[in-house]
Structure formats: C-alpha cells, structure tokens
C-alpha cells in the first residue's frame, strides 16, 4: 500500500514538467497512477479521453506507471485504489499557498492521506499547461517543452 502513489491533475495537455515529476516519482514509488481529473469547471481544451491518451503514449516507457481518469473527490478515488500518497509538483512559491490548502483539506477529508511534493528540474519551473496553449495558439516554438505527441495534437487543434 505504501508503494503506490496517485499523481492527480488536469493535464491539459501533459508537458515535460509533468513528465519530470512522473519520472522522479517512479524512481521512489513502485507504482504510480496518473489520475486525470475531468476538471469540467476548468473548460479543458482537450477532452478527458484525449488527455488520457496523450499521457498513456508519453509515459509508455516508464516503469510502474499507469494512467486513468477520475471524477469526484480525489480522496475517495485514492481510497478506492488503496493509495495513501498523493504526489504534486511544486514549482514556485506561487504554487505553495494553494497546494498547502489542498494537501491539508485532503487530509481533513481522509486522515490517512499524505501529499508528497516534488520539485521539477529548473528547466520546467516556469512551465504550465496554460502558457503552452497560449504560445502554441500564437505559433510560438514549444518543441522543447512538450512531448512530440502533444506538439502534434496542439497543432491539429489550433492550426487546422
């Protein structure tokens, strides 16, 4: 049970920053479930199926990593999977306040839940999915920041 962690997020779309966290996590935990939230309230550019598909393709070579989708409360989902560890990425002080609230709220909802924070490589500290979409839409070069699979999908969305 202690060897399983859940890495939840919207992943709209997955970036090299997310992959960096998954890679680091997979060296510590035997199994990681990347849990893609439907996040309907965030109005994602990619459908849940597309987000799961991109993650499956880009994490295919990672040991012990599986990708699933979930809806509803993360703590309920984690409990159903038998996991008590949540992984989250921490990029900068700006992430801290929200992540701190989320981690303590999740523990309040399920006292067995703990959140492990992982810092990405400094190359990805300024990277987020929102920025990627914005730059891609305006035709900027993001080829070193997202996997090739995602680059293709972004081009198909914005530059038909």
Residue numbers of the site for ligand ADP (CB under 6 A)? 9-11, 15, 17-18, 21, 39, 88-89, 91, 95, 120, 124, 127-129
**Annotated catalytic residue 137:** no
**Helices 129-137, 148-158: crossing angle, 10 deg rounding:** 50
> To which residue do tokens 């966290």 refer?
21
Both tokens of residue 10?
A: 């919207």
**Annotated catalytic residue 91:** yes
4-9 and 114-118 beta bridge pairing: unpaired
| Catalytically annotated residue among 18, 84, 88, 133 | 18
* Residue closer to ligand ADP (CB basis): 9 or 84: 9
**Annotated catalytic residue 42:** yes
Dist CA 99 CA 92 (whole Å): 11
| Catalytically annotated residue among 84, 88, 91, 153 | 91
* Residue closer to ligand ADP (CB basis): 84 or 86: 86
* Residue closer to ligand ADP (CB basis): 49 or 159: 49
Q: Could you tell me the smallest distance in angstroms from the CB atom of residue 60 to ligand ADP?
A: 19
Both tokens of residue 105?
A: 């709220």
| Catalytically annotated residue among 129, 133, 136, 153 | 129
CA dist 100 → 37, 103, 106, 116, 145 (Å): 19, 5, 10, 11, 26
Active site residues: 18, 42, 91, 129
């Amino acid at each position: 049970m202690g060897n399983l962690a859940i890495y939840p997020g919207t992943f709209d779309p997955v970036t090299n920053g997310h992959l960096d966290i998954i890679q680091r996590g997979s060296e510590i935990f035997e199994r990681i479930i990347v849990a893609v939230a439907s996040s309907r309230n965030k109005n994602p550019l990619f459908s849940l199926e597309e987000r799961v598909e991109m993650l499956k393709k880009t994490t295919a070579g990672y040991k012990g990593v599986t990708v699933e989708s979930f809806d509803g409360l993360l703590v309920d989902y984690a409990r159903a999977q038998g996991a008590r560890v949540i992984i989250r990425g921490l990029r900068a002080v700006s992430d801290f306040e929200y992540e701190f609230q989320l981690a303590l709220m999740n523990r309040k909802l399920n006292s067995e839940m703990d959140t492990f924070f992982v810092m990405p490589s400094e190359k990805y500290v300024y990277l987020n999915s929102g920025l990627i979409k914005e730059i891609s839409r305006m035709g900027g070069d993001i080829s070193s920041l997202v996997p090739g699979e995602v680059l293709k999908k972004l081009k198909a969305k914005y530059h038909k």
